[in-house]
Chains A and B, each alone.
Chain A
């Protein structure tokens, strides 16, 4: 086994070590307040932004050269709070590099589904990916053109990929 790859943890440390990185620079000039945290680990850069600013953050990194939306999904950290982590993987064809944008989203009170802005206005290709997250995690996307279940039947109860949903399903 080789040694663990170097890890840079925390926004200030990343800002210091990678100040000229186009995505870090773009987010810092976009909104230093909404750019919450950063981490460089396993050779991958993770940039955490406030959930309210995800669409604007995507526009900012897109303008900085990260032109290709590759993937987005959610992770359920139940029972921690905030519960949901949304991970967006954005690729730059020019820099041949990938970044991960991350937003932590808490459950809305009284059984309502959590909600975050859709990034379909920035990348229309995120349409199906957001539908999948809505279907399997029950996270709503504001401004999504066609937010319907995609994998499960339309009358399905519950959100299968949530951690409090049993692997065998309800019987």
Chain B
């Protein structure tokens, strides 16, 4: 399972002779390199990893149960809190699922702004990954660089949503409101300088011999294992499986954008680093295309019984006031049925499974989050390697415990 032709895998001593030297090491839940409250129970033979058992659930808040007690529109702010590093992707996936049930048609401008913001959100997610991953390896400087650009992205989020992290900007039926007047120009300014910043990160890391030695040949994952274990996103593509739902099963008018899906056939931690860095460049291109071709028109669907009216209209139109009151107090009924909406977020394939029984509250909401499945592959990647490599492996799969535990 663990045979990367390029990398020497350490031989495990025979079980009998090793029995007495085995040690169980508890790593986490409060370990700085576990990115949250991940606990890894590691069995060691000297410094060599024999087995890794992740223990999760420390952040479990029962969001799926809470969803069943809320109106459909009240679930949107809950979704932000699941993967708090990629908030707009959560919003989008949930909204798309409910919109599928409602058969709502979303105006083109809203769809394009959704694409633009989801890509910025992906950049946000990748920037945090890059900063923290490099910091785990010992390259502290990169963290300061990536958080500088992340701050810019958070300011852009704040400008549209009023919130830096818990945005809830996408609503069922479109966006919560039209972005501020100069906002697209601000995005343009940011995206114009961003490719240089990626070069800067690359200059700091790509040729760095310490970084290379810590990453190359470490944490090999074969494409067969990746598919069998449910791994998605950059780790899957770094193992040579060319799958990206944005291209393969497009949603929210992704089919109108041209972008490459970076892949690698090497399958180690270094390949995951390269794939994500290339993905950041592609995201920049998607944002640029969205800015260049941004259509005009409304940002909310024409469905007064589902979409909240504009604030100004409520003060001048009786109908708008009535609709607002009805939506807020009673919600809106969603036709009975079940839908699954998948999408590609920063970490991999996200999915929302929404079951409706025809009332104003969802009967069941289930979220498939990429980190939950990817965590299962840690043992396959780390087995037979040194304990120090485990930190590189956990960093390279880019997990967020909020989305594992929900």
Task: Please list the residues of chain A having a beta carbon within 8 angstroms of any beta carbon in chain B.
Answer: 1-5, 41-44, 46, 67-71, 73, 75-76, 87, 89, 91, 93, 96-98, 100, 123-129, 136, 149-153, 160-161, 165, 167
Contact = CB atoms under 8 A, between A and B. Distances in A.
B57 interface: yes
Given A70-B368, A87-B353, A1 B57 contact: no
Given A4-B103, A71-B353, A124-B229, A42 B339 contact: yes
11 contacts: A1-B103, A4-B335, A68-B230, A87-B340, A98-B342, A100-B338, A124-B229, A125-B229, A125-B376, A127-B376, A161-B65
A97 B248 CA distance: 9
A96 B62 CA distance: 32
B11 to A, nearest CB: 25
Contact of B65 (A1, A98, A153, A160): A160
B228 A124 contact: yes
A32 B56 CA distance: 40
B349 interface: yes
Interface of B: 56-57, 60, 62, 64-66, 68-69, 100-105, 227-231, 241, 243, 248-249, 301, 303, 335, 337-340, 342, 349, 351, 353, 355, 363-364, 366, 368, 372-373, 375-376, 405-406
Contact of B243 (A93, A126, A127, A129): A93
Contacts of B62: 160
Contacts, number: 107
Interface centre among A41, A73, A126 (most CB of B within 10 A): A73
Contacts of A96: 248-249
B340 A75 contact: no
A167 B69 contact: yes
A167 B229 contact: no
A73 B366 contact: yes
A1 B105 contact: yes
Contact of A123 (B228, B243, B249): B228
B60 A151 contact: yes
Given A44-B338, A89-B353, A125-B230, 12 more contacts: A1-B103, A1-B104, A4-B103, A69-B230, A70-B351, A73-B364, A75-B364, A87-B353, A89-B342, A93-B243, A124-B376, A151-B406
Contacts of B303: 1
Contacts of B372: 128-129
B368 A151 contact: no
Contacts of A70: 230, 342, 349, 351, 368
Contacts of B376: 124-125, 127-128
B365 to A, nearest CB: 10
A1 B305 CA distance: 11
Given A125-B376, A152-B60, A71 B243 contact: no
A72 B176 CA distance: 32
B321 to A, nearest CB: 22
